[in-house]
A and B are shown apart, each in its own frame.
Chain A
Amino acid sequence: MGIRLYQEPQLENPILVASWPGIGNIGIIAVDTLRSILEAEEFGEIEPWEFFYPKKVLIRKGVLESLEFPSSRFYFKRVCGGDIIFFIGEEQPTEGGRVYAEGKKAYHMANLVLDVAEKFKCRRIYTSGAAVALIHHTAKPRVWAVPNGPGLVSEIKTYQNTVLMSAIEGRGGHGNITGLNGLLLGVAKKRGLEAICLMGEIPVYLQGLPLSYPRASKSVLEILSHSLQVEANLDTLDELDQKVQQRIEEFYQQIPLEVRGQLDRLKQVAYAQPAEPGPITEEEERKIVEDVENFFKKRGERG
């Protein structure tokens, strides 16, 4: 039980790009879009039995025909300058009703993914997820980048539209990455593999909605494609973004005027360095988050 490889492609200096679903499905949409654009070929999977409950049953004329489990698949693509392995997990293995992967199952899955990375001598790992930020949905999301070693910092500083945690207002270089998108970084470090997590910003008031946020996926993909030296036509993401933005606007108009007024002020946010005074004070930031939380709490109480 574990990894099943259908073939063992000969790959040169590959980079592994992995993602699982998370807030706004930002990472997985970015990674899966790139996999699709590059027409990467499936070559293996992690067997699901010990990680997941089945997701679908098909019964025809009273006979149980099939039982489907969430997939965890590997793909490869040969490209000039370095081949790519994609890993896409349809679900995160959870324990005890938690939303994101945690515990021994998550650790086991992270290790299985990295077993494949090491087998094919991957020189780097990228993961991708979401960064909940005090931004407006009309803004272009930045990408927060977290490396698993200091040697990668200088390279990250050359990425466009990307910030390290130390450059994020009020963070002081600290934070955490929940779930497997984060765990993989730690396990890679333990194995001496370099890894970077790229997180696209999602507005704080959208994090609880059952919506994907392709605008942030696009920001992530711009960095990823540059770093992997591949050309990616992002038109499909733009189309998806337009549709989602329409739905967000519909939702936005339902927010009470006084809360929306606070949120509208986020349009003025310019990314300030920690030492500089921003257009919104810390006190005002707290107020916005409080108002949004109260709004959702009231919505929840009303059912």
Chain B
Amino acid sequence: MHPAASKAKFDAEVALLTADFLRVKQWKLLTPAYPILDLTIEAKRPLRLVINCDNWNEAPLSVALLSPSDGAFLSCGEAQLLGGGIFNHSAHEQTGRPFVCMRGIREYHTHSSHRHEVWDTYRNEDGMNIPGIVTQIARALRKNIGA
């Protein structure tokens, strides 16, 4: 996708993250500057996500898991505190870090176990935009460790 088209789509979807939307979702927006969306999900154990949206939405979102307190990438051991399900605590083959194992996430679709499940299957579905995918991660986090 042309970078200008990708940025336009990113900007349109990030514009949905209004103050009221963030209040309901209990997210703190840190950096919304293409291609990076940096936010913290409030939960019993808050989680910071740095989301690389380059080539969105031809490519799915690349999500890094960070500590909200110091901004460091979570280690595989620290990621275990997020619980299981979509949070995979092992090192991803490409990033070497724990990752989100869920459709819509680049680390999922590029993992050797899921390469057959192509992003194109989902990319135009309702609810698979940036706010929708982050909502899914937040829901899984709160189900695992509490709100």
- B partners with A: no
List residues of A whose CB falls within 8 A of some B CB.
none
B interface residues, Cβ below 8 angstroms from A:
none
